[in-house]
């Protein structure tokens, strides 16, 4: 079986992340496969180190950790949601995006949110974008789960998209539309946390 076919099959079967390693917010076991992993400075975490068999995408992207915190979609969607309405570069029209603030996701994973905390957000295509927690707060970055009222699918912009509402901030709105979304990874699946 080819690696891509194995990963796709494992994801559909819910086995990319072992069930006992998934997010257990409030002591509850996850109900579905993991969609977001936080590595680095994550507090206690809820899963162990990289698995050389099951974590093929992370290995390809040179992700490494000894412990991490994994969320399934339901755990992220259960966090308080914020709604934004940015004009998207893809069609030049405003769209409604909804999801929790990234800072709320980090807090749910036990991440210390100091002024020097840095994030590296990684998308499934390998795109990596840095973000300071101070900027995450300033621009009110969300981890969008829904676009125009529907959950976002893998293969599109989802299932998670890390972004602010560029139209609301003069320094971002001043950029040409095609440049406003640089550094805002869609299909975000991994966030490395560095606290100094």
% of the chain beyond a pLDDT of 90: 80
Which residues have CB under 8 Å from 52's CB, separation 6+?
Answer: 59
Which run of H or of E encompasses 136?
Answer: helix 133-138
Interval 7-24: pLDDT, tens: 443 443 333 333 333 333
pLDDT tier at 31, thresholds 50, 70, 90: low
Interval 35-86: pLDDT, tens: 999 999 998 899 999 999 999 999 999 999 999 999 999 999 999 999 999 9
- Residues 36, 168 contacting (CB under 8 angstroms): no
Q: Which residue in the block uniquely carries the two structure tokens 């807090």?
A: 107
Average pLDDT over residues 1-9: 41
- With a cut of 70, say whether residue 29 has pLDDT above it: no
pLDDT at 195: 86
Average pLDDT over residues 146-161: 96
Q: Mind listing the domains of the chain with CATH numbers?
A: 3-194 (3.90.420)
Interval 99-132: pLDDT, tens: 999 999 999 999 989 889 999 999 999 999 999 9
**Letter string b/e over residues 81-115, b meaning 16 or more CB atoms within 10 A of that residue's CB:** bbebebebeeeeeeeebbbbbbbbbbebbebeeee
pLDDT tier at 167, thresholds 50, 70, 90: very high
Q: What span, in angstroms and rounded, lies between the C-alpha atoms of 49 and 80?
A: 29
pLDDT at 77: 94
pLDDT greater at residue 8 or residue 180? 180
- With a cut of 80, say whether residue 6 has pLDDT above it: no
Q: Strand pairing partners for 158?
A: 154
DSSP-assigned states of every residue in 55-124? -HHHHHTT---SSEEEEEHHHHHTSPPEEE-PBPTTTSSB--EEE-BHHHHHHHTT----TT-EEEEEET
């Amino acid at each position: 079986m080819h690696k891509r076919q194995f990963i796709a099959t494992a994801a559909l079967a819910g086995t990319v992340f072992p069930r006992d390693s998934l997010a257990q917010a409030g002591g509850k076991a996850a109900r579905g496969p993991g969609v977001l992993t936080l590595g680095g400075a994550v507090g206690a975490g809820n899963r162990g180190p990289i698995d050389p068999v099951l974590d093929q995408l992370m290995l390809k992207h040179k992700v490494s950790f000894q412990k991490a915190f994994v969320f399934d979609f339901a755990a992220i969607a259960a966090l308080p949601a914020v709604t934004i309405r940015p004009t998207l570069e893809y069609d030049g029209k405003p769209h409604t995006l909804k999801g929790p603030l990234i800072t709320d996701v980090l807090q749910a994973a036990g991440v210390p949110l100091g002024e020097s905390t840095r994030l590296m957000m990684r998308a499934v295509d390998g795109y990596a974008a840095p973000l300071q927690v101070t900027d995450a707060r300033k621009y009110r970055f969300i981890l969008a789960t829904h676009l125009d009222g529907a959950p976002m699918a893998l293969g599109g912009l989802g299932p998670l998209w890390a972004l602010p509402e560029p139209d609301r901030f003069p320094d971002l709105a001043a950029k040409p539309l095609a440049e406003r979304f640089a550094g805002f990874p869609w299909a975000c699946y991994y966030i490395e946390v560095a606290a100094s």
